[in-house]
Amino acid sequence: MGARPVEGLIVDHKSCGCRSSRLRIKWREPGLGADYLMHKVATSRVDWSALRADFPILRERVNGHPLIYFDNAATSQKPRAVLDVVRSYYEHENANVHRGLHALSARATEHYEKSRQRVADFIGAASADEIVFTRGTTESINLVAQAWGGKFLRAGDVILLTEMEHHSNLVPWQLLSERIGAQLRFVPVRDDGTLALEKLSSLLTPEVKMLAFTHVSNSLGTINPVVDLCQKARAVGAVTLVDAAQSIGHMPLNVQELGCDFLAFSGHKMCAPTGIGVLYGRSEIVESVPPWHGGGEMIVSVTLEKSSFKKPPHRFEAGTPNIAGAIGLAAAIDYIEGIGRAEIFQHDVDLAGYALKRMAELPGLRVLGPERDRGGVISFVMDAAHPHDLTTFADQYGLALRGGHHCNQPLMRRFGVPGTSRASFYFYNTREEIDRMIEILEKTARFFK
Amino acid sequence: MNPELGDLEELYQEVILDHSRRPRNFGELADAAVRVHGDNPACGDEIHLGVKFDGDGGLQEIKFTGHGCAISQASASLMTTKLKGKSRDEVEEMLRAFHDLVTTETNNDAPKKLGDLLVMRGVRKFPQRVKCAMLPWRAVGQALRQSEGEATVSTEEPEFA
Ligand SMILES: Cc1ncc(COP(=O)(O)O)c(C=O)c1O
């Protein structure tokens, strides 16, 4: 896929950086936030309802009703393929990594390091050495803020974030800036839930040393133009960090085409177990980052006075890592690639489009975020019922929504709501489930009216 | 009673919905001795409670403003109706009894003195909603503790004993 701008039209893949030749791509006016591209693929190839059988939990009944799981932005469910791999690891390979000279330790180490390579391939990293295993997005971002930020940022430097960041891409920077006297700046969010990119040129000044932003908003579903943002940040010499928590399992994504320096994500939102996540760090940058946590595994030699440290990624993995988690993550990647990330994205977009259309039929219901070109995350408020009451009510019908501020308190304030209800989809969700949600929302409105 | 609704109907009894739609004692208390702001950061609910004491430290006047879910609003409305004119000891006793009502299986004596507040017992089956019901009560507990001035309480702080 050509990744060069041609005659003023941006033809690279602005949001996902994928290079799959299967995709037919359309683009729109560059520079205004809507300049990312939509995949057009035939999703009919995938038997979506058959995939549901891979997820044992989808057979659960909740409060006497079949479970409708629409809280995927919080965490996804796990397919049997992942559960089996984790179990098999504990039954046949369990040992500590990088320590034992015995057979099991060798097996565990090999499987763990193979998983790292699997992650590298999945996100298009140049090398497995650029992949640090962490507990999740939050830990990945804290690592960058504390280890990279602690070394390279000074009083007066600016960290540029956006108003739509999850608390986990806000609080670590607040902690850092309080410690070293750096300043935080924010790209505002427009009323339609997109970033006010027209403000970028005045915000992205040479004092900006870090631009950290989310790929897909966990409240609004907005998809941000990553390629564009990273390019502009690089032009002023800023390092970039992309929070890919909401995009990683939902669309094709390639770090080299995105052009970011760091990228953080959690396994548990993409079919892997909880407690495992990734920090991608471009090798030129990550090599100069000092250790964060100290302990076993991350050292070369230790005396009572001082230690020398391994190269990345092991420099950043002190102590016994989450071996089963890493192996489970690799299995989740296999599973997701078996379906196809472009197909998953198209399915998300279809479901979101269908849900938005059906929700527009409900009087007194307002959806936050962009009207189109968004991921499968829909936040809404209903005149008749507070999000808390709505969520409790829906739960009695087996419908799992999330109600509250979604770790986006500043964004909720920006939109003048205390919180919202949120429905977020994944590939195992169906239009029938959305129809059922609409019925339940109608009941809710009648009940609280 | 609609059998399909079950626990929901017990949680959202008609009286509760009525109090949440038309809260009693809603408004600023101009000459309040204590103002307590109660926050539930988990959902953005807020209650601002104004209290005036009589000569013996009893609750002479109590009013609230704020916004939130049906449970927190109704709980505040019911609470103010119940507590107005009560002595300090009575309020403290009521606070404990109400806490028990929404968190534990009812014991046998608590219910009677709670009177109208018994409609809130459905909350017990919804542990995530206990914070909503307790928010105004936390605020009044704080008001008793300080007798004058302003304070803030949050549902994220440790529960009182
Ligand atoms: C956009 C975004 N960033 C960060 C996070 C934090 O992820 P985790 O809690 O797995 O560290 C989440 C999910 O909660 C998220 O949606």
pLDDT in tens, A405-441: 889 889 998 999 889 999 999 999 999 999 999 999 9
Protein residue with least CA distance to atom 9, ligand 1: A138
Give me the pLDDT at residue B111, please: 66
Residue A193 makes CB contacts below 8 A (sequence gap 6+) with A164, A217, A220, A221, A222, A368, A369, A370, A374
Contact list, A387 vs chain B (CB under 8 Å)? 43, 69
- Fill in the DSSP letter of residue B115: G
* Ligand 1 centroid, distance to A78 Cα (angstroms): 17
CB count in 10 Å sphere of residue B31: 7
Contact list, A392 vs chain B (CB under 8 Å)? 8, 11, 126, 128-129
**Cα A157 versus chain centre, distance:** 27
CB count in 10 Å sphere of residue A4: 7
Q: How far apart are CA A189 and CA A36, in angstroms?
A: 17
| Three-class SS state of B62 | strand
Cβ proximity of A157 and A201 under 8 Å: no
Give me the pLDDT at residue A101, please: 85
Cis peptide before B3 (omega within 30 of 0): no
Cβ proximity of A254 and A113 under 8 Å: no
State which ligand 1 atom lies nearest to the alpha carbon of A214. Answer: 1
Protein residue with least CA distance to atom 7, ligand 1: A137
The answer to whether position B93 is within a domain reads yes
Give me the pLDDT at residue A7, please: 27
Q: Given pLDDT bands bounded at 50, 70 and 90, which one contains residue A31?
A: very low
| Three-class SS state of B49 | strand
Q: How far apart are CA A310 and CA A93, in angstroms?
A: 25
| Three-class SS state of A64 | coil
Q: How far apart are CA A222 and CA A194, in angstroms?
A: 6
pLDDT tens track for B44-90: 789 999 999 998 889 999 999 999 999 999 999 999 999 999 999 99
| pLDDT higher at A45 or A440 | A440
pLDDT tens track for A351-404: 999 999 999 999 999 999 998 889 999 999 999 999 999 999 999 999 999 998
Cβ proximity of A138 and A354 under 8 Å: no
The answer to whether position B161 is within a domain reads no
Residue ranges in chain B whose pLDDT is less than 50: 1, 161
Is the C-beta atom of A134 inside 6 A of ligand 1?
no
Considering only CA atoms, which of B30, B63, B32, B24 is closest in space to residue B47?
B63
Protein residue with least CA distance to atom 13, ligand 1: A74
The rounded percent of chain A whose pLDDT value lies above 90 is 84
Q: How many domains does chain B fold into?
A: 1
Give me the pLDDT at residue B63, please: 97
Interface mutation target, options A389, A399, A439, A440, chain B, most CBs of B under 10 Å: A389
Beta strands in chain B (DSSP E): 34-40, 45-53, 59-67, 149-154
pLDDT tens track for A331-356: 999 999 999 999 999 999 999 999 99
Give me the pLDDT at residue A100, please: 77
Give me the pLDDT at residue B106, please: 59
Cβ proximity of A71 and A376 under 8 Å: no
Structure-token pair, residue B81? 């109706």
Select from A396, A405, A419 the Cβ nearest to the Cβ of B7.
A396
Give me the pLDDT at residue A21, please: 40
CA distance B88 to chain A (A): 32
> How many CB pairs below 8 A link A and B?
53
pLDDT tens track for A89-138: 999 999 999 877 899 999 999 999 999 999 999 999 999 999 999 999 99
Task: Report, as an integer, the average pLDDT of A134-146.
Answer: 98
Is the C-beta atom of A162 inside 6 A of ligand 1?
no
| Residue A407 designated active-site | yes
Q: Which residue of A has its CA nearest to B66?
A: A418
Burial B44-62 (b: 16+ CB within 10 A, else e): bbbbbbbbbbeeeebbebb
Give me the pLDDT at residue A29, please: 29
Euclidean distance between the first and final Cα of chain A, in Å? 53
Q: How far apart are CA A91 and CA A85, in angstroms?
A: 10
Q: How far apart are CA A198 and CA A29, in angstroms?
A: 13
Q: Angle, nearest 10°, between helix axes B70-83 and A387-395?
A: 110
Which helix (DSSP H) or strand (DSSP E) does residue A133 occupy?
Answer: strand A131-134
Is the C-beta atom of A137 inside 6 A of ligand 1?
yes
The rounded percent of chain A whose pLDDT value lies above 70 is 90
**Residues in chain A whose Cβ is within 8 Å of chain B:** 385-389, 392-393, 396, 403-405, 409, 412, 417-419, 447-448
The answer to whether position B158 is within a domain reads no
ipTM over 0.90: no
The answer to whether position B82 is within a domain reads yes
Give me the pLDDT at residue A17, please: 53
Catalytic: which of A16, A260, A271, A407?
A407
Question: What DSSP line would sit under A391-435, residue for residue?
Answer: HHHHHTTTEE-EEE-TT-HHHHHHTT-S-EEEEE--TT--HHHHH
Give the range among A29-33, A248-252, B115-119, B153-157 with minimum mean pLDDT.
A29-33
Give me the pLDDT at residue B4, please: 65
Give me the pLDDT at residue B105, please: 73
Q: How far apart are CA B145 and CA B43, in angstroms?
A: 26
Considering only CA atoms, which of A52, A31, A47, A69 is closest in space to residue A197?
A31
Could you tell me if residue A188 is left (phi over 0), alpha (psi between -120 and 50 degrees) or otherwise beta? beta
The answer to whether position B65 is within a domain reads yes
Euclidean distance between the first and final Cα of chain B, in Å? 36
Are the beta carbons of B5 and A396 separated by less than 8 Å? yes
CATH code of B106's domain: 3.90.1010.10
The answer to whether position B147 is within a domain reads yes
Q: Which residues pair with B66 in a beta bridge?
A: B47
Tell me which residue range forms the domain holding B96. 3-153
Select from B46, B67, B70 the Cβ nearest to the Cβ of A389.
B70
Above 80 in pLDDT, residue A23?
no
The answer to whether position B96 is within a domain reads yes
| Three-class SS state of B141 | helix
Sorted by where each starts, the structural domains of chain A and their CATH numbers stand as 1-41 (no CATH), 42-71+340-448 (3.90.1150.10), 82-337 (3.40.640.10)
Give me the pLDDT at residue B147, please: 77
Structure-token pair, residue A119? 């992650």
Q: How far apart are CA A214 and CA A243, in angstroms?
A: 4
pLDDT averaged over every residue in chain A: 90
Query: Which burial class, exposed, middle or buried, applies to B113 when counting CB atoms under 10 A from its CB (0-12, 13-18, 19+)?
Result: middle
Q: Given pLDDT bands bounded at 50, 70 and 90, which one contains residue A42?
A: low
The answer to whether position B160 is within a domain reads no
pLDDT averaged over every residue in chain B: 88
Instruction: Please count the helices (runs of H) and the strands (runs of E) in chain B.
Output: 6, 4
Give me the pLDDT at residue B156, please: 78
CA distance A36 to chain B (A): 33
Protein residue with least CA distance to atom 12, ligand 1: A245
Give the up-direction half-sphere exposure of residue A207: CA atoms within 13 A in the CB hemisphere. 13
Cβ proximity of A396 and A443 under 8 Å: no
Burial A68-85 (b: 16+ CB within 10 A, else e): bbbbbbbbbbbbeebbeb
